[in-house]
Structure 1
């Protein structure tokens, strides 16, 4: 029998948007097509600066007649404030909290939650919503639960508790970003973090905040860096440590997930020209005293 595990996430924040204009309101602000989100379909997207740089990423779920954004917990107040600035005369009500989130991984996770293996597939579950990660099926499922819920509903589905490391290792192996851990606020361009391939941006939906730079980056081939998985050997570098090639700047370590003595996996933003030089010249990428081996995710187009 295939097994599945779950972990209740501690650092997530939630913004609930009610009202007749909820879809149109978000559609003009975020990177993905909000009209595709429904009771059976969750989405993933981002809110950008006017200059097209990353501010927040989020999962977007329909809960009854409301839309719920699941985002970084320690930055949700700022996100809430910014959304309210754009409310103007829109018939929407924006509120915080009311939910908690979990992730479910393992070969049996989707079946335990009654989900088909299709990214973004969603269904009601435990008074909330269970859905396949909209970025990649192999990332497992996410569950949006009422704030008053405990993990009993997940255990009753046949899932076993586990630590966040089980999910984090899978996430970084797949090359999936986790908010500002992996994308520098007001610096990262969405296509550098794989949003096109991961279904987090729609190029046909029309205007939204930061749309012009995002489109120009795609159509002019301006992506010079990419977020990608790394294997780290040696003293573990802290997130933010510079990656170098023969003493020259080549990128930056973002997520780090320890995986035994003097070994770790993680994500790093790496300049593609330096990566090519490392490959051709046989020189190692370095992060402090550790060597770094970068790999292209199987889903990536670069």
Structure 2
């Protein structure tokens, strides 16, 4: 799959990946010193629910440009990967994905949820028409891994009082307003990338299927623990308030801006047309999004099933959000931002919860309230 075109020690690369996070100082073999309330600890986890499509051909970039929310020009200009969405004609999210630059020209890897990889492949083939493009599912040849800080104590959001001071939440930020990743390393049959969404999500690693976890750790060249239970990565995402895959984003239900795709550098508002652009552009021009995906915290580990779209109520029994998913004490909800942050109490099915505003949301806010109707 991959040639050793850039045989490099990864500890230097990984240090620069994490250098941008708060609380980082000197390093030793990619050991990172955090603030006193954080504990060093890197975890490597294979993401069994993610799979890979390979798209190749001279017209591959132009082909993908007309189908995704992000801009393929970022890859041409040096970015190593981009976060993006595939939408249906009504502007609803069909598939969330990460597009990776490969070591070969005119070849890209598309990471998506394993449950929809065949559906995404058919979607791409439908629009291929007469282009000389090869679209192949290579999930049996490449595994997807994540390396992340599993022991970091996230302060996901501000207190209610702090949040009340902000009169307008949910501003739209197109991709490119914050720096995108431009780093990747090729080592034997392993490619290591920064996660294009957030530094807190760590590294994304594509490795040939015969390569085991210990071989990957050897190339990372620093102390890494192996995830003992599948779900550490999912818990991390939920703490941060990031949806991924069909369980969090069932096809044809979510809107791109409501799942924070703009905050995660996944939408270009300056590129040409793509499928589903009209509604997304119209929402962008209103200037504000009233509902967004946000982290939820339960007082205790949930011991009963909660359904997708279940109503989240405030102290007045008004609906301020809809439930999306949970693991252990952490969950996701599509929340009416101002109403949920100002609520004195929130509950779902009689279970008390707290909502937090992620610290990674952009801090710039408009000085005047923009009137915008909710997109139903």
Query: Under TM normalisation by the shorter chain, which class is it?
Result: 0.7 to 0.9
Inter-partner Cα distance in structure 2 for 1:276 and 1:83: 40
Aligned to 1:55: 94
TM-score by length of 2: 0.70
Q: What secondary structure sits across from 1:298 in the alignment?
A: coil
The secondary structure found in structure 1 opposite 2:128 is coil
Is 1:242 paired with 2:311? yes
- Match of 1:164, SS? coil
Is residue 161 from structure 1 mapped to residue 226 from structure 2 by the alignment?
Answer: yes
Quote the offset at 1:138 in angstroms: 1.1
1:271 is matched with 336
The verdict on how the C-alpha distance between 1:101 and 1:291 changes in structure 2, with shifts beyond 3 A counting, is same
Inter-partner Cα distance in structure 1 for 2:300 and 2:47: 29
Q: C-alpha distance in 2, partners of 1:235/1:102?
A: 27
2: CA distance, partners of 1:155 / 1:8: 12
Q: 2:252: which partner in 1?
A: 186
What residue in structure 1 maps to residue 374 of structure 2?
Answer: none
- Structure 1 residue aligned with 2:71: 33
Aligned to 2:95, what secondary structure does the other structure show?
strand
**Please, what is the CA RMSD of the aligned residues?**
2.3
Q: State the 1:105 CA deviation.
A: 1.0
- Which of 81, 84, 103 aligns to 2:122? It is 81
Task: Describe how 1:121-270 pairs up with structure 2 within 5 A.
Answer: 121-156=183-218, 157=220, 158=222, 159-162=224-227, 163-221=229-287, 223-234=289-300, 236=302, 238-240=306-308, 241-245=310-314, 246-258=316-328, 264-270=329-335
Pick 1 or 2: higher relative contact order, CA cutoff 8 A, min separation 6. Answer: 2
Work out the CA distance in 2 between the residues paired with 1:198 and 1:120.
15
Q: Deviations over 1:95-124 (max 9, x none)?
A: 00231100001299xxxxxxxx97453221
- Give TM-score scaled by structure 1 length: 0.87
Considering only CA atoms, is the larger Rg found in Structure 1 or Structure 2? 2
Q: Is 1:46 equivalent to 2:85 in the alignment?
A: yes
Counterparts in 2 of 1:187 and 1:118: CA distance versus 1, 3 Å: closer
In the alignment, the residues of structure 1 paired with residue 265 and residue 199 of structure 2 have an alpha-carbon distance, to the nearest angstrom, of 12
Gap change, CA 1:151 and 1:289, over 3 Å in 2: same
Residue by residue, what CA displacement relative to the aligned partner does 1:145-183 show, whole Å, maximum 9, x if unpaired? 123322232221333211333322322222222122222
Out of 1, 7, 10, the residue aligned to residue 48 of structure 2 is 10
Query: In the alignment, is the contact (CA less than 8 A) between 2:93 and 2:254 conserved in 1?
Result: yes
Is 1:291 aligned to 2:352, yes or no? yes
| Contact 1:172–1:265 (CA under 8 A) maintained in structure 2 | yes
Structure 1's unaligned 5+ residue stretches are 109-116, 259-263
1:22 equivalenced with 2:63 (yes/no): no
CA contact (8 A) 2:294 2:335 kept: yes
